[in-house]
A and B are shown apart, each in its own frame.
Chain A
Amino acid sequence: MTKRTAPAVVAGALTLSLAVSGCAGFGNLGNEPGVTTVTLASVNNPQMQDLAQLLPEFNAEHPDIKINLIMMEENDLRNATTKDVATRGGQYDVMTVGAYEVPIWGRNGWLADLTDLAAEDSEYEVDDFFDPVIEGVSYQDRMYAAPFYGESSFLMYRKDLFEQAGLEMPERPTWQQVADLAAKMKDPEQDRAGICLRGKPGWGEMFAPLTTVVNTFGGQWYDMEWNAQVNQPGFTDAVEFYVETLQESGERDPASFGFTECLNLFQQGRAAMWYDATSAAGTLEAEGSPVAGKVDYVAAPVNKTEESGWLWTWNLGINAESQKKEAAWEFVSWATSKDYQELVGEEYGWTRVPPGTRQSLYERPEYREASAAFADITAETMSRVNPTQPGVAPQPWTGIQFVGIPEFQDVGNQTSQEIADSLAGRQTVAEALEKGQRIAQIAGDIQKREAGK
C-alpha cells in the first residue's frame, strides 16, 4: 500500500506547488484533476502494439481517461497479473487475459462480470462475436472478459510444391492423409521437411497442436470425474502418431521448434506443410514474405471428430479489485469495438486488424480482399470449433487445447518434456505417458477436492 500512496503524495505535493506558483506547464507530471488513470497490463504481441500506437485516438474521444500502458512478454505478463489478482493487489485495472485463464479467474471472482455492461451498450453488439469465442470467455454463462483477438488452427501447405509433386490436398484432410503426404513431400536433398509440427516443450508450445490431435484421436486429459486419461489408448495413439510423424517427415531438431521457429522454417521454404495458428497466415501472406501467394489453407486435420481446430483468444478483462471500473469499461469497449477494427484498418491496413473475434470483420469487403487466401477458412473454423466438447467424450472444462485448471500449465509442461525425450528416442511414448499420467493424476486429485467444495 505504501508503494501506492507514495506517488500519490508526491503527485499531490506537485499539484499543490503548481497551483501556488500558477504554472501550468508541468500538467502531465501528476494526476490531473478530473482525469482517471487506467493502468493496462498487456501482452506485447503485434496487435497490442498497434493498440498502443492508437491510444491517442482513444484520448481524443475520452479526454478524461488516461491509459497507463505496461507491456510485457507473455510469460512475464502471466506471472505479474496472476500475482496481482491472486493477492488482490489491484495494481492493474485492465489486463490482457488469455483464454486459458478467463474461466478460472472468473470462477475465482478475480475479474469483473462484463455481461450486463456489454448487453446494455447497444453499439457494442455483443452478438457479433463468434459464439465459441464468447463461450471461451464465460464461466456459467457470465462473460468475464471482452475478446480482442482470436485464432484457431489450420493446416497450411505449399500449393506450388504440391503441384510440382502431382499431389493433391483433400479439402478436409484426415491426419493419416496428412502423414502420408508429409512422407511424400519431404526432401532431405533440398533440406525440406514434409511437415512442421511444434516439438518444443511447454503447454502452450507442443501441447497446443498436440492436444488438438489427442482430441480428434478420441483421447482426452481428464474424464468427467477428473480421472487422468493420459496413458489411455486415445491419448497414446495420438502422441505416438505425432512423434512418429515428426520423426518420419518432420523438421530436424523438433525439440527446439515452437511457433516462431516453424514460422521461420515454413517461410524459408524448408517445410511443405505446417499445422499451426490461423494467425500465422497474416505473416505468410504479408508483403515481402518469400512464400506469399504460394500457400493454401485447409481445415485442421481430423481423425474421429468433425472438427479439430483449437481456440485461443486474448481478451481484455477488468480487475475485480479495480476502483475505476467505469473508465476501464470505456476503454475495453472501445478497444474491442467494430469502430476500433475500422480504425486499425484505415490507419495500418486491413491485414493488421486483430482477427478472429467479430463475424462482421469477415463480411467487410476491405478485409476479405486483404486476406482472400485465408479469411473464409478462418471464419468457418472460428465458428465451428466447440470449446465445451472438442473431443469424442465430454469434458468437465471449457477449452480445446488446454485444460481449464490452474495446474494444467505445470502438467502440460512436464508431460511435454517427457514427450521431448521420446522425440529423441531416450524413452518410448508409453513410458513418457506413464509419467504424464502420474503428473496429471496429482492435479486431477486436487481438482476433485476443490471442485467438491
Chain B
Amino acid sequence: MTAATAPAVAGDKKPAAPEIEKSAGERGERRFARGIVLPAFIVAIVVTQIPFVVTIYYSFQNWNLARPGARSFAGFDNYVAVFTGGAFLPALLNTVVIVGSAVIVSLALGLLFAVLLDRQFRGRAVARTLLITPFLVMPAASALIWKWSMLDANVGMVNWALGLLQIPPVAWNTDHPGMTIMFVLTWQYTPFMMLILLAGLQSQSGEVIEAAQVDGAGPLRIFRTMTLPHLRTYAELATLLGTVLMVQVFDPVNIMTKGAGNSKTLPYLLYERAFIGQQVGEAAAYGVVTVIVTIIFTTLALRTLFKVFTEEGGGGR
C-alpha cells in the first residue's frame, strides 16, 4: 500500500502551481510528445498490421509453394479446410491442456521455491542462480536435455528413478506425448514464476508480519491469511505472462514428439501447414483463425483479470 500512496502524494503537490498556464504548456508538451511517438507508432502499424492484412489476403489464395502454376483465388475453401480438416480443434484443446497444466504446476512449484528462497541461509545466491538456470537455457537445448538425459527409455534419469521404485520403464514420448511437453514447459517456466512471486514476497512489509507474530499468529496462519492474499496480484501477473510465453511452445514438440498424439499444439500445427504442407493459403487461414480465437480468449481473460485487479485495489483502500 505504501507504493500506491507515494505517487498520490507527489501528484497532490502539482496542482499548487498556477493552473491555466500549466495546462497551456501541457498542451504544447503533449503535442510535442505525440509528434515524437508518431513515427514509432507508424512503424508499429506497418510492422504488425500490414503483414496481418497480407496474411488475410493469402488466406483466400489457393497456393502451394511447390505448385507455383496452380495459384488461384480460393474463396473460403481454406477456412472450410481449417474447420473440416479436423486438426484445428484438437490442437486448440491440446494447447489449452498442456499450457494450462504447465501454468498451474509451475506456479505451485514456483511458489514453493520462492518461499524457500525468501529466507536467509548460507549459499542463497548460489541456490537462486541454480534455480533460475532452466529459464535461461535455450528452449531447444532444454528439449534435448529432456529427450536424452531425462526421459530416454533406456538411460533416462526419470525411468531410472522409477526403476528404484520397481516401476517398469515408461515410453514417455510414445505413450504420453502431451505430458512430456508439459514436463519441459513446467521445468522451464517454474523459475519464471518463482522470480515474480519472490519479488512479491520480498515486497511484503516485515513490520506487518512481525505485528502479526506479536498478536500470536503462527507461520501457517500468516502465510494463508496475509502472504497469499498479498501474492495474489503477483500470481495473476505470473499466470498471464507465463501463459503468453508458454502458448508459443514449439521446440520441445519439434524435438521430442514431432506432433504425435496429443502433443500437437497450435504453433506446431501452423508450422506443419506452412512448412511441411507448404500450403501457404491454408496456413494463412489457420493463422487468421488462431488470431481471432486468441483475441477472443485474451479479451475474456484480460477483462476478468482487470476486474480482479480493480477489486483488489478497491478492497485495499
Contacts and interface: CB of A to CB of B under 8 A. Distances in A.
Interface string A247-270: 000011111100000000100101
A256 B66 contact: no
A190 to B, nearest CB: 11
B65 A86 contact: yes
Contacts of A407: 64, 66, 277
A255 B152 contact: no
Nearest to B171: A253
B173 interface: yes
A150 B171 CA distance: 34
Nearest to A105: B66
Contacts of A410: 272, 276-279
Contact of A82 (B66, B173, B259, B260): B66
A406 B67 contact: yes
A191 B159 CA distance: 13
B174 A424 contact: yes
B153 interface: yes
Interface stretch (A199-207, A296-304, A307-315): A199-207
B277 A409 contact: yes
Given A202-B258, A254-B174, A86 B68 contact: yes
B67 A82 contact: no
Contact of B147 (A251, A256, A424): A256
Contacts, number: 102
Query: For chain A, which range describes its interface: under 10, 10 to 19, 20 to 34, or 35 or more residues?
Result: 35 or more
Contacts of A201: 257-260
Interface in B127-160: 147, 151-154
A29 to B, nearest CB: 32
A252 B171 contact: yes
A28 interface: no
Contacts of B154: 191, 252, 265, 268, 270
Interface in A380-431: 406-407, 409-410, 413-414, 417, 420-421, 423-426
B276 A256 contact: no
A406 B68 CA distance: 11
Given A406-B64, A417-B264, A424-B175, A256 B257 contact: yes
Main secondary structure of the interface of A (DSSP, over half): helix
Contacts of B261: 255, 417, 420-421, 424, 426
B181 interface: no
A3 interface: no
B70 interface: yes
A450 B70 contact: yes
A421 B260 contact: yes
A413 B260 contact: no
Interface in B271-316: 272, 275-279
A279 B236 CA distance: 53
A252 B169 contact: yes
Contacts of A79: 275
A104 interface: yes
A253 B258 contact: no
A82 B65 contact: yes
Nearest to B147: A256
A254 B259 contact: no
12 contacts: A82-B65, A86-B65, A104-B66, A108-B66, A191-B154, A253-B152, A253-B172, A253-B173, A256-B174, A414-B272, A417-B260, A424-B171
Given A252-B169, A256-B257, 9 more contacts: A254-B171, A254-B174, A256-B256, A265-B154, A410-B278, A417-B260, A446-B64, A446-B67, A450-B69
Interface of B: 64-70, 147, 151-154, 169, 171-175, 177, 256-261, 264, 272, 275-279
